[in-house]
Structure formats: C-alpha cells, structure tokens
C-alpha cells in the first residue's frame, strides 16, 4: 500500500508565477489536509478537504491560495502570483476519517522556492 504521494518534491518559481502542488492520499483515505512549514518553524494547518468539498480552510491565506480535492485525481494546492514569503515546505496528510483518533499520514512534502 503506497503512502501519501506528493509531487513535485521541489518546485522553483519566480515571483508572480503560479505554483501547483499535488497530493495523492493513501488508498482508501478520503480526508486530505494541507500544512505549511516555514523555515525553522513547526507545521501550520492550512485546509482540510474531503472529496469535492472544502470542510475547513481557516488556515488558508485569504488571497492567492486555493485548494481542491476532485472526485477523481489528486488534491491540488494552488498558489497564484507567488511571492518570496511563500517559500516553504508544503505537506499533505491523509486519513481514513472513520477511525479514532483519525491518525494522519504525511507525505514527503513539496519544497517551494520563490526567486
């Protein structure tokens, strides 16, 4: 059973470009979470999605950031018009959602560098 997959592992974008980060949850998992880790900091919750639904986006910046988890295919975290401050590691986690304590399994992360 493959773990959580994220791609690309490293992404370099110039200021003003768009970044698309992909996350494929573990097989059988229908809950996806995105976290951001700034340098020298812990992970911060961004958004929680189920298939075709955003359940909690309280950690998402109000502008330029969006996320989706379509019926088919991976979850996408999209950052428009990137700025230097978006440089960070972005981690995706998935859980089956039906078994306490709803343990989350993390992917290897995507390291975004904005130049």
Partner 1 sequence: AQSVTQLDSHVSVSEGTPVLLRCNYSSSYSPSLFWYVQHPNKGLQLLLKYTSAATLVKGINGFEAEFKKSETSFHLTKPSAHMSDAAEYFCVVSVGWNGGYNKLIFGAGTRLAVHP
Out of 21, 60, 79, 107, the only residue in the binding site for partner 1 (CB under 8 A) is: 107
What does the alpha-carbon distance between residue 31 and residue 67 come to, in Å, rounded to a whole number? 13
Out of 8, 73, 98, 115, the only residue in the binding site for partner 1 (CB under 8 A) is: 98
Indicate the DSSP class of residue 9: S
Out of 27, 80, 102, 115, the only residue in the binding site for partner 1 (CB under 8 A) is: 102
**Contact between 35 and partner 1 per CB under 8 A:** yes
Bridge-based pairing of strands 75-79 and 110-114 is: unpaired
Of residues 48-77, which lie at the interface with partner 1 (CB under 8 A)?
A: 48, 55-56
Interacting residues with partner 1 (CB under 8 A): 4, 31, 33, 35, 41-45, 48, 55-56, 91, 93, 95-109, 111
């Amino acid at each position: 059973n493959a773990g959580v997959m994220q791609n690309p592992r490293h992404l370099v974008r110039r200021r003003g470009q768009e970044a698309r980060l992909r996350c494929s949850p573990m097989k059988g998992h229908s809950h996806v979470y995105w976290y951001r880790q700034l340098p020298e900091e812990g992970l911060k919750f961004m958004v929680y999605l189920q298939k075709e639904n955003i359940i909690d986006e309280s950690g998402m910046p109000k502008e330029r950031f969006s996320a989706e988890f379509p019926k088919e295919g991976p979850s996408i975290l999209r950052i428009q018009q990137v700025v230097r401050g978006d440089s960070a590691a972005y981690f995706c986690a998935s859980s089956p959602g039906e078994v306490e304590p709803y343990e989350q399994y993390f992917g290897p992360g995507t390291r975004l560098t904005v130049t």
